[in-house]
Structure 1
Amino acid sequence: MRPLTNSPATRLFTVTLLMTAVLAACGGGSDAPAPTTPTTPTPEATPVSLRLEKIGSYSTGQYEVSAAEIPAFDAASRRLFVVNAQLGAVDVLDMGNPASPTKIGAIDATTVLAGASINSVAVHNGIVAVAIQAAVKTDNGRMALYRASDLTLLGSVAVGALPDMLTFTPDGNTVLVANEGEPSDDYQIDPEGSVSIIDVRNPAALVERKATFTAFNSQAATLRAAGVRIYGPNATVAQDLEPEYIAVSADGTTAWVTLQENNAFAKLNIASATVTDILPLGYKDHGVAGNELDASDTEGGAITIRTWPGVYGMYQPDALASYTVGGQTYLVTANEGDARAWGEDNAAYWAGDASQGFVEEFRVKHLINRNGWSGRAGDDLPPQLNAMAAGGLLDPAVFGYCGAVAGNPMGCRDDANLGRLNITWTMGYRTNPDGSPMMFTAAGVQDPTGNRLMYDRLYSYGGRSFSIWNANGGLVWDSGAEVEKFLASPECMLGQARNIPCADFFNSGHNEGNAKDSRSDAKGPEPEGIALGQIGNKTFAFIGLERMGGVLVYDITTPTAPVRVDYLNTRNEWVTQPSAANLATVGDLGPEGLVFIPASRSPNGRPLLVVGNEVSGTTSVLQLNLSY
């Protein structure tokens, strides 16, 4: 037979054959489906380890205005959606080339709700969900859906006040929104916290059901006794609980919600839109080995990570994620910590009008001054605290190790000891059987006519750690002091080139230059964001450290025995004070949200981690280089 030539007739014949084959493969050209051969997906290989590498970045050029917060990725359109709080919108980035993300558009919430802004974004199979906060944060917000490929608005629905984080269930049929319900800054309005559960199968007719906490209003005393922090001075339980972050079980039936300020989880039945449990998380004992912390920011450059008997950490997780091992759900939390500070910029509050706010944070040295706290009046003395007593004392039976004696905290007030540590004044003092404060004299003698509180516990903010919990809120594993100890070790290196000793800038702030140890008195490195990624048979946790910066990677395949794998901090300049003018030199600051992109959905075929850095306004693309 004569070979086929490249004539027009030959080309037409070839195209016709190809089209016929394509139609047959798709079931076209016939009413009967084409026969198919079942295939088994090739299992993904399991790596021994991984190493992060920054391969790309997008910068808004905006400094310290939260211009890059929460990222979400759509694989089909290869688009990245990043919450830009500075614009009150979502930046849309083309991720076709992960080494060079490019802005191609934006989602503007004001077309849905006048004066509104966007707090969070999530993506599922080409649908983008956004949480929209009203211009007045105590008003109800909205959740809106957009098509990822062309940003068409598909529908929106009213939700609760201050909708924060939102997420899809695994099947994509439902969106859950954490309605934080935070009070107004002057504490005159306090909406209830809630979780919106929205059927999104028909975007043009969204159906919202609200899981509320009103059924727990009569259980305030029981919840407090169990360890849930219900302490807003004018709040019901439903007003006091402030949903922050949501994780959903693999089967889509159950959700868990962090109640950050309350140091608890809420557990939800999604089908019935019901809060079934409020689970207290307990407290971290910084007095035992393994839970040490650095408590001072004024030690002359020293790093002092040690035990502090009588000091307890409130886990107060921000971000939350779930995964399954052996048929059991486990929850992973970044234990950032958060203090309530309503009215902190209101002069009337500090002048003594307790109705104008509520600030719970106070330094130890001011709380336990033997002369009382009147010297802080008009400065940082909360009126609610001042109304309770004239001063605070430390129990010498607990705090004798740092010098406390009856009526005098002595060396415990020193800046190099506990003096600089920020704590909550709302708990830790002795109480009477009815819950009222037990009074002592200035000499430390119990006396109903006294005017001093006796603290035998001090509670600081956050765990300076990440934790793994079971489905009922039981602690399975906590990183203890490992994060701070690692940052102080010679093993830890900073910068994209990994050539700057972490210890030189231990516990630095994300908006400071040359600020070693500046965050030790507060919440340390502040683990805040978390993302999980499964590669082969292993599950990895990626934890963003908000203040110190960078991303820690742990292999959490075995929930009871996580192993640190890597740490990359892409801040490259640590001495100069960051500003909008030097962002390109300084690098990434303040990681907030993280999203893992598996290799099967990645634009370059490699697993990626995208990080929104709120302080530097940059979105960084990190590649996971796997070793086998």
Structure 2
Amino acid sequence: MQFKYTVLLTALLSAGLVACNDDDKQQPEAVEQTPASIELVHLSRFETGVFAEGAAEIPAYDAASKRAFVVNAKKGAVDVLNLSKPEAPVLIGEISSRSLFAGSEINSVAVKNGVVALAVQAANKTDNGWVLLYKASDLSKPVAAPIQIGAQPDNIVFSPDGKSILVANEGEPNHDYSLDPEGTVSIIDIRDVSKPVLRTADFKAFNGQEAVLRTQGVRIYGPKDNSKAYSANNLTTAAQDFEPEYITVSADNKTAWVTLQENNALAKIDLTTAKVINILPLGYKDHGLSDNGHVVVQNGVEIKLGNSMDSADEGEKDGIGTKSKKINIVSKAGVRGMYLPDSISSYQAADGKTYLVTANEGDARAWGEDDDAYWLGNASKGFVEEFRVKHLTHSSGFDRRANDDLPPQLRQLAAGALLDPVTFAWCGATVGNPGDCRADFNLGRLNISWTMGYETDAAGAPVMYNASGVKDPMGNRLMYKNLYSYGARSFSIWDENGSKVWDSGDFFEKFLSSDSAKFGKSRNIAAKDFFNTGHDEGDAFDSRSDAKGPEPEGIAIGKIGNKTFAFIGLERTGGVMVFDISNPKKPIYQDYLNSREDFAKDPEAEFAAGHGSALGDLGPEGLVFVAAKDSPNGKPLLLVGNEVSGTTAIFEVKLK
């Protein structure tokens, strides 16, 4: 492992400006002011100049050395930034894993008590990966031998006491789904950092329980053998299907919770025994509710939240017969949002209980989507679960999309599909006819998972209907009772057993479509003019409404005084939402800041022309909160890695 020094880093080291972490010599901490509210101020950004290649993804921060560590997927490395002046970050070096493991990639980084931990993915992602450990004050070589862990380590975190490291080994399948490694969680004892001790929590104990778990709402739906027809009798095991994504650890260091994103569930782990003790299904968001029973406080006023959504993009006709800039956030009975959270964090509230906070991004399995052979009908070349409602329910059946975007596994199940005429009566569905439900301005453009929602028998096999909408064992049509869309377009607060305490409902979309929402670090761009925009395209009003909306992905939690705040990154729309979550049942909206500066120009063209710097920050991925006591300027900060613009944004959290 080689750390690439710059002249500045060498000068800092020779001047003795990089301190060691020595907790025994810390002075008593001053009592921190509890703010009435907070807001974000954009201080600076570090730019890689690389567009849409993940050149700034996951940030971490070390207080003693005043360094930020940012995953740069473009280089397969971690960029090291000097943040002693947060208004002017400076690149001082990088850590690359490729001198040890050819073709490897660093997926995640974490720092605690002066130790830097890296999650390293093998060149072949289905092979086992590694953890590498460094001292933040000396990155010239690892402090221990590489620790081999599971396949595709995707997230790495420290326990609050710094004695353990946990890694979510996602174990995604290869491109054609012919090999699907088991997902696992690595638990590494680093009390002696030079001699780490590895334990592994796996999901083998849940093999054989798949039917019960599905009944509870856990998604287990990957194909067992992709060379055979997709059916209820050809589904993979729980251990293979579970894909650990992000981890959070309780304040007492005894319990961890892991998002199983594609499975719409959390895994609860006993860290004493290194065993998964429960799988917690998250349920589904009923987009037919105009009142979801929760409230948010904004400007001192309680606002009732609903679960409405805008499901029609501007791709074809958003509105009846015309292509227009129409925002249509309404409730849609029969549409169920799968929470499918990416990031997770946790905190202890004033009642002494632990609460989990998730960013409900959504994610679809789309393996083999770039292989023409798959779309020509060879199911063994991939597995894609997304399909638009308008194509799912066309009266001519599925074959009209053959050799285009028809997943072969769907065609193996049936020749077409219908919508339940009772559930979807609101948009014109009748027996055997979807009516206007498949119109672009209703549900037609919405991407859903074809793998669930249709009527099944006790064994999980589809109940067949004929094209006229009559139940018929000889029929070839599926009957969809509900449609399941990706992500909940929200963030949620759960108790430690996975019961929902609060969900932001439709707040994100309604706020971003209002006159109050502004884009740009100077807050001078009307957000509604670029509602549900994409992060890698220009002039893209409404382009993400048919997918996952603003797409909340990253989350960080920070405590300031006696209050706890959540910072949620919106991957597609961009920017960071801020809430006071001290009361988990009634969060208080604080601020929204989006430091993208131009939404009209095509980012790819601007970067190619050398003008990318003027665009600002696009595509927030990972976030880290820096408390005032750890901050180089004595003020709380928020660091955000933006994967599309390749920038690391630095915000001051201003107390009010």
Question: Structure 1 CA distance, aligned partners of 2:380 and 2:277?
Answer: 33
2:142 is aligned with 1:153: yes
Structure 2 counterpart SS, 1:225: helix
2:307 is aligned with 1:291: yes
List alignment gaps of at least 5 residues for structure 1. Answer: 1-25, 27-35
User: 1:61-87, CA deviations, whole angstroms, 9 ceiling, x for partnerless residues?
Assistant: 000000000000000000000000000
Question: What is aligned with 1:622?
Answer: 651
For 1:169-208, list aligned pairs within 5 A. Answer: 169-208=159-198
Choose 261-270 or 109-118, whichever is displaced more.
109-118
User: 1:467-521, CA deviations, whole angstroms, 9 ceiling, x for partnerless residues?
Assistant: 0000000000000000000000001011011011110000000011111100000
Pick aligned residue for 2:621 from 571, 586, 592? 592
Question: Structure 2 CA distance, aligned partners of 1:182 and 1:434?
Answer: 27
Amino acid at match of 2:240: Q
User: 1:532-587, CA deviations, whole angstroms, 9 ceiling, x for partnerless residues?
Assistant: 00000000000000000000000000000001100000001111001322221111
2:334 is aligned with 1:305: no
Amino acid at match of 2:587: P
Question: What is aligned with 2:394?
Answer: 369
Choose 490-499 or 107-116, whichever is displaced more.
107-116
2:513 is aligned with 1:512: no
User: 1:196-220, CA deviations, whole angstroms, 9 ceiling, x for partnerless residues?
Assistant: 0011122332211110001100101
Pick aligned residue for 1:164 from 154, 176, 186? 154
User: 1:129-174, CA deviations, whole angstroms, 9 ceiling, x for partnerless residues?
Assistant: 0000000000000001011112131122000000000100111111
| Identity %, equivalent residues | 60
Question: What is aligned with 1:331?
Answer: 356
Question: Structure 1 CA distance, aligned partners of 2:284 and 2:432?
Answer: 27
Question: Structure 1 CA distance, aligned partners of 2:39 and 2:182?
Answer: 44
Question: What is aligned with 1:251?
Answer: 252
2:126 is aligned with 1:102: no
Question: Structure 1 CA distance, aligned partners of 2:522 and 2:194?
Answer: 49
Shift of 1:39: 8.4
For 1:537-556, list aligned pairs within 5 A. Answer: 537-556=562-581
2:214 is aligned with 1:224: yes
Structure 1 counterpart SS, 2:603: coil
Question: Structure 2 CA distance, aligned partners of 1:285 and 1:112?
Answer: 49
Question: What is aligned with 2:298?
Answer: none
Question: What is aligned with 1:131?
Answer: 119
Q: 1:530 to 1:390 in 2, by over 3 A?
A: same
Q: 1:370 to 1:141 in 2, by over 3 A?
A: same
Amino acid at match of 1:138: T
Question: What is aligned with 1:91?
Answer: 79
Question: Structure 1 CA distance, aligned partners of 2:373 and 2:537?
Answer: 30
Question: What is aligned with 1:14?
Answer: none
Question: What is aligned with 2:340?
Answer: 316
Give the length in aligned residue pairs. Answer: 593
Question: Structure 1 CA distance, aligned partners of 2:192 and 2:364?
Answer: 40
Choose 426-435 or 137-146, whichever is displaced more.
426-435
Question: What is aligned with 1:72?
Answer: 60
Pick aligned residue for 1:434 from 441, 459, 462? 459
Structure 1 counterpart SS, 2:209: helix
Amino acid at match of 1:238: A
Amino acid at match of 1:169: S
Question: What is aligned with 1:21?
Answer: none
Pick aligned residue for 2:424 from 399, 411, 422? 399
2:380 is aligned with 1:358: no
Shift of 1:111: 2.8
Structure 1 counterpart SS, 2:424: helix
User: 1:386-418, CA deviations, whole angstroms, 9 ceiling, x for partnerless residues?
Assistant: 011100001111111111111111211110110
Structure 1 counterpart SS, 2:498: coil
For 1:437-476, list aligned pairs within 5 A. Answer: 437-476=462-501
Amino acid at match of 2:250: S
Shift of 1:433: 2.1
Question: What is aligned with 2:435?
Answer: 410
Question: Structure 1 CA distance, aligned partners of 2:505 and 2:173?
Answer: 33
Question: Structure 2 CA distance, aligned partners of 1:332 and 1:265?
Answer: 12
Question: What is aligned with 1:213?
Answer: 203
Structure 2 counterpart SS, 1:397: coil
Amino acid at match of 1:46: T
2:168 is aligned with 1:144: no
TM score, norm. by length of structure 1: 0.93
Question: What is aligned with 1:15?
Answer: none
Structure 2 counterpart SS, 1:204: coil
Question: Structure 2 CA distance, aligned partners of 1:433 and 1:76?
Answer: 59
Shift of 1:40: 6.0
Question: Structure 1 CA distance, aligned partners of 2:428 and 2:212?
Answer: 36
2:558 is aligned with 1:558: no
Structure 2 counterpart SS, 1:600: helix
Question: Structure 1 CA distance, aligned partners of 2:488 and 2:86?
Answer: 34
Question: What is aligned with 2:239?
Answer: 238
List alignment gaps of at least 5 residues for structure 2. Answer: 1-21, 225-235, 291-305, 319-323
Question: Structure 1 CA distance, aligned partners of 2:458 and 2:115?
Answer: 54
Amino acid at match of 1:180: E
2:292 is aligned with 1:274: no
Question: Structure 2 CA distance, aligned partners of 1:218 and 1:602?
Answer: 49
Structure 2 counterpart SS, 1:309: coil
Greater C-alpha Rg: 1
Question: Structure 2 CA distance, aligned partners of 1:442 and 1:241?
Answer: 36
User: 1:269-328, CA deviations, whole angstroms, 9 ceiling, x for partnerless residues?
Assistant: 111110000000000000010000000102111000000000000000000000001221
